Amino acid sequence: MKQFLFLVLLIAPNVFAQPFDGLSEAIQRGDFGNIKAVVVSRHGEIVYENYFRGTSADDLHQVQSVTKSVGSALVGIAHRKGALQLDQNLGDHFSGLYDMTQGAFQDKAAITVEQVLAHRLGIEWDEESTDYRNVLNSTNQMINSPDWYEHVLTRPMATQPGANFRYSSGASTLMSRFIRSATGLGPDEFAAQELFGPLGIGPVRWELYSEQGQGTGVTTWSNPDGDPPLGFGLWLRARDMLKIGELYLNGGVYNGRRLLDKSWVDASWTRHSHAANSDYSSSLDWGYGYQWWMIKLDDLSDRSWHMFFASGWGSQVIFVLPELNLVMVTTADNYDHNGADVDAMLVGHILPALSPVMDSRFDGAWYNPDTSGQGLSMEVRDERGDVVSFWYTYTETGEKRWFLLQGMVQNGIGEVVIYETEGGIFLQSDPVALNQWGTGRFIPVDCDHMDLEIESSEVNTTIPLTRLSGVCYKPPGS
């Protein structure tokens, strides 16, 4: 549901060594509201896990609109199996329930599966200007209607299909019918068989929000199929949310098994909607894909990261930062919280403790902007864990000073010996002599910056390097 989370994180007691100073205390103080769980993984390993306010790792929590991203994964699996195509339309999927050639249904029949995924239906909808508990909220009105599908499909059209982004839980609810129509199974059954089972997710629950808590919400679904919605209503454990994030981080593969096509993950993380084609936000950094949000995130050290996230009302999030191989999830009851949210937690407590790992993503040419016109080239061989770099420069009187920097990647840093070379006359068999000149450390800062620390008898210094060529991370669709 309300989705405007652009940063942060949470934690719980004594599960793993906790590297994020002061985070648990800040959460316990309520600095980020009514946080229940925080789990963080890097490179597939949990590095932080904590639970608050009487909760535990076994507790299910209502994840609200994170359900949308799970629903998109189910559509992606059906697509991978050939049961569903992106250019199919609502007429294809709903004609078994309604006469899609008549009345208010008629102008919805041509809306495509892809337009639903990208929330570009053109159907009038507003769930952002009022709280979900307000009767004026479009999602509230759908929930209180006798037939949710019919309610969405008979609303007025605001624009032509595909013309404009409009965030809509009604749109996501239509995905339930896609699964039923394409596979013959309800979304809950299909999820159990094709997604939750392979990921080892469970137990799960499908129940709507209730202020009285679990067990008091709606569990019957007002549509002709009787299927649960894929816009909201799913309950998961925090660790199971983490598995969804890691599935996408790894391009659709989990524990060596492919569940989603890499192309589906890329399309899900492509900016189908953005500031240039939507009035949703003026920020040039936000985007919406197939039921996933995305933003370019700046941290407190002026580093920049691409972040993709599933986000639900009340601070339920799955943050994925590919450049850091990081997945972070939170659950919370922040339905009336107006202070710092989990985005501030991520920026203020998680990211300051993390840096990227030196690997082949840092291949390319690098230079120091203060000495433009000179620089070095680098190559990292992931399979061997070694790094080699060449630095061609000259003395004040024009004699060459060429250096070879060679070593191994240790704890994410390139530890190298620096050799100054002599000899090697062009196209002649003149031998090259390597004289150890000093040692160095390549320390990644972010995708486009790293520091080179040098220690030698001649100079001890740190050179800030900026990428000149190569790409550490290229977002899908960019």
Mean pLDDT over 83-96 rounds to 97
Are 168 and 60 within one domain?
A: yes
Place of tokens 């450390």: 441
Contact in structure between 235 and 62 (CB atoms under 8 Å): yes
Same domain, yes or no: 305 and 429: no
Residue 400: DSSP 8-state: E
Same-domain check for residues 267 and 345: yes
Checking if the pLDDT of 7 tops 70, the result is no
To the nearest whole number, what is the mean pLDDT of the chain? Answer: 93
Determine contact, residues 178/92, Cβ cutoff 8 Å: no
Q: Give the pair of three-digit tokens for residue 434.
A: 């390597």
Q: What pLDDT score does 43 carry?
A: 94
Q: Are residues 190 and 319 in the same domain?
A: yes
Q: Is residue 252 part of a domain?
A: yes
Q: Mark whether 420 and 283 lie in a shared domain.
A: no
pLDDT at 6: 36
* Boundary-marking domain end, from 332, 353, 374: 353
Assess if residue 303 is contained within a domain: yes
Our count of domains for the chain comes to 2
In the prediction, which pLDDT does 9 show?
Answer: 33
Q: What is the β-pairing status of strands 257-258 and 234-236?
A: unpaired
Question: Is 474 a member of any domain?
Answer: no
Region of poorest pLDDT, from 12-26, 44-58, 71-85, 172-186? 12-26
Residues 189 and 162 in one domain: yes
Question: What is each CA distance from 26 to 3, 11, 23, 344, in whole angstroms?
Answer: 23, 9, 5, 11
**Which of 156 and 9 is assigned the larger pLDDT?**
156
Q: Give pLDDT, residue 478.
A: 67
φ, ψ of residue 197 in degrees (nearest 5): -60, -55
Residue 328 contacts residue 344 (beta carbons within 8 Å): no
pLDDT band at 239 (very low <50, low <70, confident <90, very high): very high
Residue at 8 is within a domain = no
Q: Is residue 477 part of a domain?
A: no
Residue 229 forms part of a structural domain: yes
The answer to the question of residue 1 being in a domain is no
Q: Write out the residue range of the structural domain in which residue 396 sits.
A: 360-467
Looking at the fold, whether 329 and 368 belong to one and the same domain comes out as no
Residues 141-176: tens digit of each pLDDT = 999 999 999 999 999 999 999 999 999 999 999 999
Domain boundary among 353, 377, 403: 353
**pLDDT computed for residue 394 by the predictor:** 86
Sequence-distant (6+) residues with CB within 8 A of 169 are: 1, 65, 68, 127, 138, 139, 142, 229, 231, 232
253 and 348, same structural domain?
Answer: yes
Q: Which two tokens stand for residue 247?
A: 């599935």
pLDDT at 17 over 80: no
Q: Which of 265, 251, 283, 307 is nearest to 446 (CA)?
A: 307
Q: Judge whether 452 lies within some domain.
A: yes
170 Cβ partners below 8 Å, 6+ apart?
123, 125, 138, 139, 142, 148, 151, 152, 155, 231
Do 110 and 125 belong together in one domain?
A: yes
Name the domain boundary from 353, 380, 410. Answer: 353
Per-residue pLDDT tens for 175-199?
999 999 999 999 999 999 999 999 9
Alpha-carbon dihedral angle through residues 76, 78, 80, 81, given to the nearest 10 degrees: 170
Residues 406 and 444 in one domain: yes
Q: pLDDT by residue (tens digit) across 95-146?
A: 999 999 999 999 999 999 999 999 999 999 999 999 999 999 999 999 999 9
- Looking at residue 18, its pLDDT comes to 52
Radius of gyration of the chain (CA): 26
Question: Same domain for 320 and 370?
Answer: no
Model confidence band, residue 431 (pLDDT cutoffs 50, 70, 90): confident
CATH at residue 263: 3.40.710.10
* Residue 345 shares a structural domain with residue 364: no
Surface-to-core class of residue 473, CB atoms within 10 Å of its CB (0-12 exposed, 13-18 middle, 19+ buried): middle
